[in-house]
A and B are shown apart, each in its own frame.
Chain A
Amino acid sequence: MAVKKRKERAFGGESGNSKKFKKYSNSKGPMKKNKNDTRKKGKGPRLPSALRTELDRLDPKIASDSDDGIDLDVGNDVYEYEEEVPQEESRKNRRFDPVENYDYELPEDFEDENVPSDDEDDDGDFGVGGNKGSRNDDVDASDGDEEEDDERHLRMLQGVTGMSTDAFGGKKKRNSVVISEAHPESEYNPTRDVLEGDSHITLQDLLDPIQGKAGYSKLRKRVQHMDRKSTSVQAPLPKVDREKLERMAVYEHSKKDITKWEHLVKRNREAPTVFFGGDVDLGFSTVGAIASEFEPRTEFEKKIASLVYDDKVMEAHKADGSKLLELNKISEEDYMKHRDHVAKMRSLLFRHEMKQKRIKKIKSKTYHRLKNKDKLKVESAEMLMDPEAAKEQARKQEFKRAEERLTLKHKNKSKWARRILERGLNAQDEGTRAALAEQLHQHALLTRKINTVKDSSSSSDSSSDDDDEGSNEDRASELLEKAKEKTLKVLEDDEELPNSGVLSLPFMVRGLKKRREEAIEEAKLALQEYEQLEGTNDAENSKPATASGRRVFGRANNEVPDSNKKTKTDNKMKMDNYYGNSDSEDDLEAKANVNIEGCKRNDVEKDVGPNYDRKEAADVSIFKNFDDNGDPGSKTTYEVAIFASDSWRKMKSENGVDKNAKKLQQVKEAIVHNKDMEEGEEDSDSEREQMVDGILSSAPKESYELPSQSELIRHAFAGDDVEEEFEKDKQEILNEENPEPDKPVLLPGWGQWTHVQQKKGLPWWMLKEHEDAKRKREESLKKRKDAQLKHVIISEKVDKKAEKLQTKSLPYPFTSKELFEQSMRMPIGSESNPETAIRSLNRPEVVKKPGVIIKPIKFVEMHHHEKSEDYKRSGQKQKKNKSKGASGKNKKQSN
């Protein structure tokens, strides 16, 4: 059966190759059993050699399949045309029943295999004739298969005679077949030899042919030797397994290799801060390095450098400090001289200081006045003598003028002046008025253009100046008239309302109208005032018509009409109004204001003279009053008088001497009363002390028992029941945190019109609910932490806002609550830490410099002792080490 199988396979292989030739070879094991039968005859029908080579070329496996080279030269192959394998034979798709009746042949088959080996002398005619001869009696065997037939024939003979096939040697067809196999040899596709275990060629077989030749015995000995010590060599592992092993080895190796990084990685991970890019060279590192690069450039620097880098000095520095001292040596005389000089200068300075101090202390007004006068004189003299000084003076004057114009300091803008002006001129006496006027005068003086000094001033300025000096009044009237004209103009020409645009909208139109009306009203008012003003001006002008300049008015103005004054105040008030109304911002109004102001100024200036007089008179009267009082020495009265003087000034000298006296007396009395009161108080104090003394002195005399502590406390806190209060507080808090359930109530009016409800009372479920709520509350009260603690309240209220700022569970890296709390406890701000500690406290985990390329990690060997040292290092030190050097943190290890 094995044979058959083999053949089938051979057929299959052939059909696979689609070859129509079958090749028989006698190469199979020729020397197995009968060694003497070594004659070799190729007897088959010989093919032409060309055809044979062609065949060889086509199927080179023929050669390789044969076991040894001996057969190659035999070449007595038989070729014959081969039909296609019948379908039954190839068992395609198992359409045909398999034949089972070969089983019995199995043992012989093996023999059979061995047998044909010696049939070298297989004659060709058998092969050819085989076809014709002995048709097989096998039913199923295909008729076309000649070889099969031969074999079967042989087997039959064997079976009949019981002899080995050797006996039928002559008849036996050479049946060893060289088969070209479709697949290369492998474990899945074993060769025939593997399948037929017996057909191994032994070394003995190989040795036999050379028996008797030279070196045979030697060879044989060696072979025997080998045989004794032979060990079986295992077949190489399959490629898959081999690769797998290789990969495992590689992985293990690389694993081991990569583990060397572990300590570096560990250190990096454990470090509180990792530093990157610390190896950037920024040039000079120290001040010394920068200083060494310094080169003197300017004259001064060169001079210093020549002194500093003087050879002698340098040498002295290098050698010793004492030599430096030698260089500094000066003679005794020089020193004395220097000292005297210094002393002299000091004494001079001192004298000068003393003198200045004395002069500064002088209070005499006359002295100062004289001094100032002297100064002025000197200055003016200088001005005359020295053009430089004159210029200087002019410059100063100019500066002052500019300052005045800038600040308007003397224009009654101060708080005091404004207040007085607000109160109205009526409320003022001559003194204040004079003061105001004085201020204005100062202003005028200061702002006056100095022609003499600077000729190149603009013409407009000078003209205005002229106006100012020449006829203030004229100008004022002119301005007034101008203003009048303009107001009239405004009144006259009513503007036409715009017809289009936003302004034509109805509400805009209304607004515009309103505004215009207001403006007209104001203009009318202004006109009235102008008229009044003109009137007064006229009145004034009429009297001092001949006079020019300011100070000529003199005392003649005593009878200034009251009406005038009134108008002035009116003016002022109006002015205020105008300022208030400045929103309208009419040009006209502004002008009017200016005019009015101008007028006012004039008036005030005119009033200067008489005011002074009045003031003086008032002063006199005051002093008189004091005299009359007859008690000028007393301090209190004096003060009171000064305070009261304001009110007095309102009065004239004729009236109120008595009144004043009365007032003073009243004040005095009040003060005296106060004093009495104080004395009384003192008295009472002293009395109290006496009383206390009395008690103290009386106490030890009685039999007194010391009270116990508790008694004392009870006495002390007799009034307040603290415990009860606390109870109450606690109850309140409890109620607040666990509120008592509301009493069940029905809706008002619900079921009340019938008495049924009232009789029944509340429904049961309401009551039940209430009960439940009560129970719950009691339970929760019992559960409270302070339920058993009588004197303690532990609030269980949760503050929602505070809750947001508290963790509910322990955060990840911390293992215990205490640790976490400890970490949170220490503040990190600059308020509660020294400057040195802040940096390390606040340092981020990764410190890198922007714009510096970070290279991947580099391996550095770490020694054992340094490893331990590394752990000990504090963060500060570590940082220093890391930031230093090229490869940052690892540099130290490399050293």
Chain B
Amino acid sequence: MDGHRDSIKCMAKNPNYLKAIFSGSDDGDIRLWDLASRRTVCQFPGHQGAVQGLTVSTDGSVLVSCGSDCTVRLWNVPDANLADSDNLSDNSAKPVAVYVWKNAFRAVDHQWDGDLFATAGAQVDIWNHNRSQPVNTFDWGADTTISVRFNPGEPNILATSANDRSITLYDLRMSSPARKVIMRTKTNSIAWNPMEPMNFTSANEDCNCYSYDARKLEEAKCVHKDHVSAVMDIDFSPTGREFVTGSYDRTVRIFQYNGGHSREIYHTKRMQRVFCVKCSCDASYVISGSDDTNLRLWKAKASEQLGVVLPRERKKHEYLEAVKNRYKHLPEVKRIVRHRHLPRPVYKAANLRRTMIEAERRKEQRRKAHSAPGSIVTEPVRKRRIIKEVE
């Protein structure tokens, strides 16, 4: 879906309407897309600089955007039916409210089933729809916060990540930060599991994603490896069983929520750095926005049949799936299921990474073997990248 004139920085899905997706680009343009017809339904002009964050309220009526021009803008989302009928006549909207603030914003997220939203910038601000100033402001540490996400299951808890390589949890009920964990590399984005409110997954600069239990931050629950460059964005499927990531290595990958490696990789020749990814509300599509100014719509399950599937057909599909699932351990079956064609740079980078990791591991093994027993302790990968947990 093309139309933007600059790279797409952020996207937002309408939690109340399946077909709509909002995208904001570096040139300050915000567009509303109709996924079924793959066309722009509406534009929201106004931002002077890049649009850094977009979010939609749970009822799907208010769109919140923020950008590097230090403004937060609230828009009324056009009615879906209206947009369908006359998309040519009036396809640009005016903001309902513009709140100017002291610093540039980096991200915004809306509370689930509430009227609060949080912006991230020099500090974390909590806003109300009707107030031109933040309701609350959190500041812990001096560095810029780069992403913020509300917990959809537990709407008062939010997580942010900052430039000082930290992930911070906040609780709105006590209006105080709760805990911070500092990693070795920066976390670009965070996504909460919508079906498991205690778990969230962070997209890290070191090519991996880390799943955390918010209650036990001293170690990650799972490390999802496969990307070969920084992971830029992450979004959970509404089923909570898998999540999609977009990376700087120009690929989109889909992971199981508890799988160490990706289930699927998407790439095309023309897709550049992926800056944002979203999973559609019915968990059957994936949308990616990239540097090449295009939005791309993927199937969440590449081999799935679209359209109406009759019961007999579905039964057959289910059976075949079950057979595949049963024999997935067999080497030949595994090989076929896992086989993917990769772009050459990705393939090579993956090989290189593997070699490097292997070399490191070997070295450590040898060091261990040649030193006094117990003097060198191998730290598990889940802990290795975490520096400390700050109270």
A contact residues vs B (CB 8 Å cutoff): 244, 246-251, 253-255, 257-259, 261-262, 265, 268, 274, 276-277, 803-808, 811, 823-824, 828-830, 838-839, 841-846, 848-859
Contacts and interface: CB of A to CB of B under 8 A. Distances in A.
B239 A848 contact: yes
Contact of B178 (A247, A811, A848, A858): A247
B177 A250 contact: yes
What are the nearest 7 A-B pairs in CB distance? Answer: A854-B238, A856-B194, A856-B152, A804-B332, A811-B329, A251-B178, A842-B322
A258 B214 contact: yes
A844 B317 CA distance: 10
B15 A853 contact: yes
A259 B215 contact: yes
Contacts, number: 139
Contacts of A823: 326
A805 B329 CA distance: 9
Interface stretch (B26-34, B48-56, B277-285, B343-351): B277-285
Interface string B139-180: 000000000000011100100000000000101011011110
Given A251-B171, A255-B214, A848-B239, 18 more contacts: A246-B176, A251-B169, A251-B391, A257-B154, A258-B157, A261-B198, A277-B282, A803-B331, A806-B331, A824-B326, A828-B323, A830-B319, A842-B315, A845-B241, A848-B283, A853-B18, A855-B238, A857-B197
A250 B174 contact: yes
B195 interface: yes
B315 A250 contact: no
Nearest to B155: A856
B2 interface: no
Interface in B285-330: 315, 318-319, 321-323, 326, 329-330
Given A261-B196, A804-B332, A805-B332, A842 B157 contact: no
A853 B14 CA distance: 10
B330 A806 contact: yes
A254 B174 CA distance: 9
A275 to B, nearest CB: 10
B112 interface: yes
A277 B239 CA distance: 10
5 contacts: A251-B178, A255-B215, A277-B282, A823-B326, A828-B326
A254 B331 contact: no
Contacts of A261: 153-154, 196-198
Nearest to A843: B318
Contacts of B179: 247, 251
A856 B112 contact: yes
A854 B282 contact: yes
A461 B261 CA distance: 82
A168 B387 CA distance: 67
B136 interface: no
B133 interface: no
A806 B330 CA distance: 6
A838 B319 CA distance: 8
Nearest to A849: B282
A292 B332 CA distance: 56
B196 A265 contact: yes
A851 B18 contact: yes
B16 interface: yes
A848 B15 CA distance: 17
Contacts of B391: 244, 247-248, 251
Interface residues of B, number: 44
Nearest to A854: B238
B62 to A, nearest CB: 18
* Residue among B152, B196, B331, B333 having the largest count of chain A Cβ atoms under 10 Å: B196
A857 B169 contact: no
Given A841-B322, A854-B239, A854-B281, A265 B198 contact: yes
B21 to A, nearest CB: 13
A807 B315 contact: no
Contact of A848 (B196, B282, B329): B282
Nearest to A258: B198
Interface string B1-22: 0000000000000011010000
A276 B322 contact: no
A752 to B, nearest CB: 52
Nearest to A277: B282
Nearest to B318: A842
A848 B153 CA distance: 19
A828 B241 contact: no
Given A258-B214, A265-B195, A846 B318 contact: no
A856 B169 CA distance: 20
B198 A853 contact: no
B322 A828 contact: yes
A850 B322 contact: no
Contacts of B329: 807, 811
* Residue among B179, B329, B391 having the largest count of chain A Cβ atoms under 10 Å: B329
A409 to B, nearest CB: 44
* Residue among A249, A843, A848 having the largest count of chain B Cβ atoms under 10 Å: A848
Contacts of B177: 247, 250
A789 to B, nearest CB: 31
B195 A856 contact: yes
B319 A844 contact: no
* Residue among A247, A249, A265, A858 having the largest count of chain B Cβ atoms under 10 Å: A247
A837 to B, nearest CB: 12
Contact of B198 (A259, A850, A851): A259
B194 A857 contact: yes
Given A258-B154, A261-B196, A253 B319 contact: no
Contacts of A852: 282
Given A250-B176, A838-B319, A856 B330 contact: no
Contacts of B153: 261, 856-859
Contacts of A811: 329
Contacts of B283: 276, 846, 848, 854
Contacts of B322: 828, 841-844
Nearest to A845: B241
B171 A254 contact: yes
Contacts of A839: 315
B109 to A, nearest CB: 14
Nearest to A805: B330
A856 B178 contact: no
